[in-house]
Structure 1
Amino acid sequence: MSNPTAGASGETYDQTVNTLATLQDQLVGMAEGFVRALPNMVIALVILLITWIVAKFAMRIADRLVGSTEIRPSLKNLIDTVVKLVIWLVGLMIALIVVMPGMTPASLVAGLGIGAVAIGFAFQDIFENFLAGVLIMLREKMRIGDIIECEGIKGKVEHITLRETYVRKLSGEVTLVPNAMLFKNPVEILTDETQRRHEVVAGVSYDTDLDHAAEVIRKAVEGVEGIDADKGVDVFATTFNSSSVDFKVRWWAGSKPRDMWVSTDKVVRAIKRGLDDAGIEIPFPYITHTFKERVPMGNAPGEAK
């Protein structure tokens, strides 16, 4: 009479032996495949090393060619990045084809296209900033060194990359601004020109000859060092204020923020000095009280007469 337990144990033993044999065959196959692919992997590493060397020399050549021209620094950075990116893409494609001989350039490009769509959805913000960085570098305005203001951020553009722009605030801090923000929102470039117009308000008393006051203010401002008198000084009477007639004074000076503060300081001092010398009053605010009934001016009840 046969033993059922012994038969089941024998089948389990045979299955275990077959599994171990299959696993051993797979490991041997993988090891043989790795050994066969080892020369190709070494060649791929050599190709990557050559790609690194070629990219390094290509950037030096590009820097020399671009350095002899009056190209903008931001556009120079874009050319360096594109040259490096193209060389590395070609080198990586060649290395992949060497490691996987069955892969063709067409299949690799097709795979990259499908992968690019998937990556594009996953990293939409990153690619948005990348494309915005390219467009910012291509456009002529907003050069490195300009003072800009955008969405409450005001400072000097120090560096532009394909991802973000480094803006040094006037108080010294640096702000990393995403390129998409600078591309999609209005950007005010304060130093697009070397000069811009500044203005200040000056008030004189109501009993002043306004023509005389305007001439005094104009001569005072024209004598200030650092302003461009050739572009003219504007003095406009603009407002009947509570205690003065106000003039808006406009002049041209340097476009940098410090130039604005320095020239404004000199202009205010010159206007004050000129009006004082001419005997023209710069009034304090006056308050007039009106009463419906007559206010007695005599002694209050109970006081001694």
Structure 2
Amino acid sequence: MNYLDTLREQVDLMVKGFVQALPSIAIALIIIVITWLAAKGAVKIADRITGKTHIREDLKALVDTIVKLAIWIVGLLIAATAAIPSFTPAGAFAGLGIGAVAIGFAFQDIFENFLAGVLIMLREKMRLGDVIECEGILGKVEKITLRETHVRQLSNELTVVPNSMLFKNPVKILTDEVIRRNEVVIGVSYDTDLEQAQDIILKTVESIDAVNGDKPVIVYAQEFNSSSIDFLVQWWAKSTPRDLRQTKSEIIIAVKKALDEAGIEIPFPYITHTFKENVPLVQASTEGQAADNDAA
């Protein structure tokens, strides 16, 4: 047997088969180009239709993706049928059914995040620009895709979060409303006129411009602490984290100044020492350091 002649015959058959298939391949390529143009046109039409509605931007992106994906699936099936006469969509789906279990296990995370992304986009909450907190991640939602969500943390790092994590875990949306309540605990000494202190704190907080005037400011005497009587102060302000921190800072500074002017003491915390009780923290630290030096 002449192996060289057999190899040459096989190569000739492959070349002839390829040449015979060129028209079918050309038709398939033309179909792919038409599919690409059709997908672009369909996305533009979808954008015009959704642009007249009031649906969210991420939901508009979901509609574009579904339209594009559907057109590409149909176009690729037609192109495969034109290029390979023995190929049929029914055969393709039958083959897909055989390997569905293996594919499902291999791409379980991808499918899970894909479905979670669709459900996140369909539900009303968590829009682009919202500040959210989930599993220790606190930041602003910049982008929602079918697989992941981009969260810009308050320290400016970008965190890419799998959609399944946001769908399966509780998500705190801090900017769901325009305003949000914040609070601080303020302690005064035991010899203070509590009604006077309460009135001063209330008027001071109400005088801050950033505090929402439509919601009441609440000042409660909360508990007897070891060295002070504590007031719980609650107010409403804009819900963005920066605004909340800024407002809280202004309130603390203003209340401290108002209490100082009224001669009301904010006592230094006391701690329990091993040998002495009710020793101020600074004194206890100094005595502890001296004891360490003597021991050394």
What's the TM-score, normalizing by structure 2? 0.87
Counterpart of 1:95? 79
Is 2:230 the partner of 1:246? Answer: yes
Match of 1:278 among 228, 249, 262: 262
1: CA distance between counterparts of 2:83 and 2:250? 72
The 1:88–1:116 alpha-carbon spacing in structure 2 relative to 1, beyond 3 Å, is: farther
Taking only the aligned residue pairs, the percentage that are identical comes to: 64
Counterpart of 1:143? 127
2: CA distance between counterparts of 1:219 and 1:48? 72
Query: Which moves more between the two structures, 39-48 or 132-141?
Result: 132-141
Residue ranges of structure 2 left out of the alignment (5+ in a row): 278-296
2: CA distance between counterparts of 1:74 and 1:52? 23
2: CA distance between counterparts of 1:178 and 1:147? 17
The 1:93–1:287 alpha-carbon spacing in structure 2 relative to 1, beyond 3 Å, is: closer
Indicate the SS of the match to 2:214.
Answer: helix
2: CA distance between counterparts of 1:116 and 1:287? 66
Runs of 4+ in structure 1 off by over 6 angstroms are: none
Question: Which letter maps to 2:85?
Answer: P
Indicate the SS of the match to 2:118.
Answer: helix
2: CA distance between counterparts of 1:166 and 1:43? 41
Is 2:171 the partner of 1:187? Answer: yes
Deviation per CA, 1:261-289: give whole Å up to 9, x if none. Answer: 11101111221232233332222235795
Aligned ranges 1:1-305 → 2 under 5 Å:
15=1, 17=2, 19-285=3-269
CA displacement at 1:202 relative to structure 2: 0.7
CA displacement at 1:122 relative to structure 2: 1.3
The size of the alignment, in residue pairs, is 274
Counterpart of 1:293? none
CA RMSD in angstroms comes to 1.7
2: CA distance between counterparts of 1:163 and 1:245? 52
2: CA distance between counterparts of 1:242 and 1:49? 78
Task: Pick the structure with greater CA Rg.
Answer: 1
CA displacement at 1:159 relative to structure 2: 0.5
What's the TM-score, normalizing by structure 1? 0.85
Deviation per CA, 1:219-259: give whole Å up to 9, x if none. Answer: 11111111112210111111211221000100000111101
1: CA distance between counterparts of 2:172 and 2:270? 40
